[in-house]
Amino acid sequence: MNKTPALYGGSMDSHDISSKLADNFNRLSAEAALTERERYVVYLIMKGITTTTITKILNRSIKTISAQECSAYEKLGVSNDVQFIRKVISSTKDE
């Protein structure tokens, strides 16, 4: 299995990293009290799907998807996709 430098010390494989990011995303979205739709929209963004494609997947207007994205980002305390992804990557559970 291909190992990659770990984000949190040691070494992790790609499955470990994906699992950690998913855990971080789930925790952050719960803490921010995102609606189900906001959560799904930012999940798709996190997966690299464009807003235009999201409108087609969800059969919603660009205005609706953009509003849900903005609302989610406001609740998460970020203002753009890059800040969102950085927050998911750098977020660690306080133990």
Find the distance separating the first CA and the last CA of the chain, reported in whole Å: 29
Q: Which pLDDT tens digit goes with each residue over 16-30?
A: 667 888 888 889 889
**What is the band of 4 on the pLDDT scale with cuts at 50, 70, 90?**
very low
**What is the band of 53 on the pLDDT scale with cuts at 50, 70, 90?**
very high
User: How many angstroms separate the Cα of 83 from the Cα of each of 9, 53, 55, 76?
Assistant: 22, 21, 22, 10
Model-level pTM? Answer: 0.75
Q: Are 88 and 25 in contact (CB under 8 A)?
A: yes
| Confidence check: pLDDT of 5 > 70 | no
